[in-house]
Structure 1
Amino acid sequence: MSESLEGVGRLACFELWGGNSKAVQAVELPGLLGWIWCAPFGHGDSGGDVHYLSVCSKGQVSRIALADVAGHGEPASSVAQSLRRVLQHHTDNWDQSALMRELNEAFKQDAKGVQFATAVVLGFYLGTGELLFTNAGHLPLLWHHAGSGVWDWLEDHTPYAKDAAALPLGLITGTTYAQTIVDFSPGDTLLLYTDGITESRNEVGAELGHEGLLGLVRSLTAGPLEGPVAFGHALVARLKEFQGSGPQRDDETLILLQRQPGIGQLRASQGGGRRNTGPARRKPR
């Protein structure tokens, strides 16, 4: 499960990193090791896929956000700035309900020339190893459970799967976004992605699709997943193999997050826990 951390960016307390620019970067957050691959459409320097990672002022809560904006260029950049501002304002908050409401309103006010954006926002609490996720019309997340060694859809492991995905950002003022908590154990890995991945096509025009992506990640894993960096590079190589000489049709982004062993396990065993979770829904064991 462990990987060399040489060349990995480390987020400090109250730091926020990301944007809508081209990126290939490993990032270490408290209790997590992440890997981001963002390839804007047309080999440009920036696109409509926006990602941010942040750490709260005390290093206990990390947040990861991925948005797919219906647009490119200046409109997408304005969305990136709005997302950054709202995430910075809520860096210290574990509960995501107010954050999502503010994101929705900020999108309607600031996203000039953009109709909507899908987004998924995650919060990870180091003290308990719990993962809080909110889906605003975005694609389902893939989860590699270390205990079983199998990739599957995260939403299939929650009792609220039908409620997991709400409306995209920017459609209706006052939209309420559900949030769900799952236990994210050491070695567990999540894959976030945009529709540029699942809607990519091979040389004969066949679309990869959701099940095709699931097949790709399963074909790369037999048992424990060594680490998100090596796996991410292997997944991109397999994706390019599928696409062949076919043209890139959209922005493409992959984010891998793996839970690392450490202080969170100790605090959980000693009875430590999070506070002020709000209306989050918890997955029973």
Structure 2
Amino acid sequence: MNCMEVCGGHVDGSRHLQRPGLDVSISSHSQQDIDAGGGDLHLISSCASGRITRMLLADVCGFGPLFRDLAARLADVMKRNVNSIQQTRSVRQMSEQLAAASEQGGFASTLLSTYFAPTRTLSICNAGHPPPMVFRANAKRWELVKHYHSGFTPEPVAPGLLAPAEYGHVKLSLNPEDMFLSYSNSLTECRGKDGTVLGVAGLKNLLEQLDTAASETIPQRLIEVIRGEHSDNLLKDEATISLCRVTNHRVPWKDNVLAPFRLLRSVSDRTTFT
């Protein structure tokens, strides 16, 4: 992945990206035709210097061209805000696109996060998505991300929609080797060996059993473990897991020098849909 770029989309497979201060590993398993009911969407953007990495994970429900239309609009939101450290404007624009999709009969839950490498801070906005998890390297344990607050003034919205004031917001301070994991709704709906629904607690329990070494393989290993729990798991459902590991990688001097010139050109769009 390069600076001033947005990538991701609806793809099947695994990929590993290195950005300043952050390694990103994603495993996506696309099982259905997005025109026949929607699916998972993941987007990643990098600013002109690479200091700002923004990630969006969405579970989109909708028929016909709605998925592609909403994906294109959300990718445009990522491009317009690629160099903004704060994600307040991104959240509001994202909310506008979700509202527009609802008028067409669609719905999406989203998780938007922004990592700023110089301060090692991660800003999270959760709009109806399962809670992400963070691994604290010093304590060697996984934790659910809780204690959200609202960052917006209440305002009226269409029935069935979450207003921006209802989104959960939190900012985390991270250290090298800490990890942040986000995932699809479908994973919490899978079943354990005893046939009961995993839920968030069950998913966390499976995650805690995985070795945290070779972190880039954790998303794929977790999916394999979930499939092994019950024969019905993820047979037809989409599944996406994104894991970010904090590193000490600095912005290369070349990217610092070229950043002002990159601001003069448009953001590259490398999103793909299968």
The TM-score range, normalised by the shorter chain, is: 0.7 to 0.9
Q: Identify if the C-alpha distance between structure 1 residues 114 and 18 changes in structure 2 by more than 3 Å, giving closer, same or farther.
A: farther
Aligned pairs for 1:5-24 within 5 A: 11-24=1-14
Give 2:228's aligned residue. 241
Whole-Å separation in 1 of the counterparts to 2:234 and 2:114:
35
Which digits, 9 at most, give the CA deviation of each residue in 1:69-124, with x for residues without a partner? 12355322221111101110010111111111111112323566443211111111
Aligned pairs for 1:107-146 within 5 A: 107-110=98-101, 113-146=104-137
Give 1:268's aligned residue. none
Give 2:260's aligned residue. none
Q: TM-score, normalised to structure 1's length?
A: 0.76
Q: What is the alpha-carbon root mean square deviation over aligned residues?
A: 2.8
Residue 211 of structure 1: CA displacement? 1.1
Whole-Å separation in 1 of the counterparts to 2:197 and 2:162:
34
| Unaligned segments of structure 1, at least 5 residues | 1-10, 265-285
Runs of 4+ in 1 over 4 A off after TM superposition: 44-47, 169-174, 202-205
Q: TM-score, normalised to structure 2's length?
A: 0.79
Aligned match of 2:205 in 194, 215, 222? 215
Aligned match of 1:175 in 164, 179, 182? 164
Whole-Å separation in 2 of the counterparts to 1:20 and 1:111:
20
Alpha carbons 1:96, 1:179 under 8 Å: kept: no
| Unaligned segments of structure 2, at least 5 residues | 252-274
> SS of the residue aligned with 2:53?
strand
Aligned match of 2:246 in 259, 268, 274? 259
Alpha carbons 1:13, 1:57 under 8 Å: kept: yes
Aligned residues between the structures: 244
Alpha carbons 2:150, 2:169 under 8 Å: kept: no
| AA at the equivalent of 1:100 | V
| AA at the equivalent of 2:183 | Y
Alpha carbons 1:122, 1:131 under 8 Å: kept: yes
> SS of the residue aligned with 2:112?
strand
| AA at the equivalent of 1:175 | P
Aligned match of 1:103 in 94, 114, 117? 94
Higher RCO, 1 or 2 (CA under 8 Å, sep at least 6)?
2
Which digits, 9 at most, give the CA deviation of each residue in 1:47-89, with x for residues without a partner? 5211001101122111011011123553222211111011100
